[in-house]
Structure 1
Amino acid sequence: MRLRKKWWARPEMEQDSKAVFEAWTQKGKWSEVFGNDQPIHLELGCGKGQFVARKAEANPNINYVAIDLKDEVLVFALRKANEKGLTNVRFVPLFIERVEEVFGTGEVSKIYINFCNPWPKASHNKRRLTHPRFLTKYKTFLKPGAEIWFKTDDDELFEHSLEYFAEEGFTELYRTFDLHESGFEDNVKTEYEEKFSSFGVKIKFGIFRFEG
């Protein structure tokens, strides 16, 4: 569904220090942005922010950076953070293709990829956020031992992603084809996840470690 342009979204975000514009100017300096040396976790495609707000609230000793392209969704994520009084999360309007321009070597300890576009056409596969083309980008800023947590409702994307991670030298730590029945205890649901799991859609999930 095409988002209707919200002309008020960018001005509202510009009034809040938790929104970081021209984030590439902060490369290698995110500890200064947050004012501390806590680990940095990154969510790629945060949508309206339910996931990252819940994670940040539960883990005040971790800094979160949430990226999405559209002001129209980021502004709602920012509002969620403000409603909870969170200080350990920043929101970045950015085309994810440019993510390696934003973080320095070893600056990120974990990446969350939740329900990214599956790009089912073979000619579009390289746009997948788990494709080797993107995994190569992530390697430039992940700490050795960092993890990528990946969730999807798409069977084909998950199967292919298992191959992508192995191809790029990531160690598979965990996988399940039915997350909500797996007994995995550290799951935080996204808005999308709640909706589709209510329809009986099984959620696929894996954890992959970057060996450095």
Structure 2
Amino acid sequence: MRMRNKPWAMEFLNENSNIVDTDGSYSGRIGDFFPESRPLHIEVGTGMGTFITELAARNPHINYVGIELDKNVMIRVVEKILEAELDNVRLLLLDAREIDTYFHKDEVERIYLNFSDPWPKNRHEKRRLTHETFLSKYRSILAEEGLVQFKTDNRGLFEYSLGSLNNFGMVFHEVKLDLHADEPEDNIRTEYEDKFSAKGNKIYRLKASF
């Protein structure tokens, strides 16, 4: 999700360094970023932050890390964290390709991928967050029995992801081809999800482990 550039974005994020790591200060020691030691879940690509902040509010016993590369988008996520007074959400201004160097092996219990860029052109396949290159990184940081949860409205990307995860040897625990037809209680809608669903698009979701 791209937003208009805000010249003051980095200044704002650095003023909230108790919530946002903009320079890798907590690389290798993410536990120090939280007031309490709790199980760790991460979302790769936060959007406007509705998903991760609602998830954190529902589950105060879990620490959540949102990874986002767009500093302008992250401003709104910080605002939502402050508004909700959440102490179990932290943000990283980080390229997803670097997550396996930021987190320790087996440190993360769940990874959420919500409405990721589909990168439809074949030459951009390696940029898809369910490409084997990323799956290898997820495997290195996920704890035993850790889960990857993926959600999209893009049928082509979902079909690609099913094949990619299957070829990587992952085990599927859930595959939903119309998530909203019988919406489970654990589903938290993102901004994109509401937008696409209102247009009549089906929402797809899977959960899988290595």
Q: Output aligned runs, 1:13-162, within 5 Å.
A: 13-16=13-16, 17-23=18-24, 25-162=25-162
Quick check: 2:174–2:207 contact (8 Å CA) kept in 1? yes
Q: CA shift at 1:165, angstroms?
A: 1.0
Quick check: 2:131–2:164 contact (8 Å CA) kept in 1? yes
Q: Which residue of 1 aligns with 2:185?
A: 185
Quick check: 2:2–2:73 contact (8 Å CA) kept in 1? no
The alignment yields a C-alpha RMSD, in angstroms, of: 1.3
Report the TM-score, using the length of structure 1 for normalisation: 0.94
Are 1:167 and 2:143 matched, yes or no?
no
Q: CA shift at 1:140, angstroms?
A: 1.2
Partners of 2:13 and 2:127 lie apart in 1 by: 28
Q: CA shift at 1:178, angstroms?
A: 0.5
3-state SS of paired residue (1:200): coil
1:58 maps to amino acid:
R
State the aligned residue count.
209
Q: CA shift at 1:26, angstroms?
A: 2.6
Deviating more after overlay: 181-190 vs 141-150: 181-190
Q: CA shift at 1:35, angstroms?
A: 3.2
Quick check: 2:106–2:144 contact (8 Å CA) kept in 1? yes
Partners of 2:116 and 2:151 lie apart in 1 by: 8
Partners of 2:194 and 2:178 lie apart in 1 by: 14
Partners of 2:21 and 2:2 lie apart in 1 by: 24
Partners of 1:99 and 1:2 lie apart in 2 by: 21
Report the TM-score, using the length of structure 2 for normalisation: 0.95
Partners of 1:158 and 1:185 lie apart in 2 by: 22
Are 1:176 and 2:176 matched, yes or no?
yes
- Structure 2 residues not aligned, in runs of 5+: none
Partners of 1:183 and 1:196 lie apart in 2 by: 15
Partners of 1:91 and 1:31 lie apart in 2 by: 13
1:22 maps to amino acid:
D
3-state SS of paired residue (2:158): helix
Deviating more after overlay: 90-99 vs 77-86: 90-99
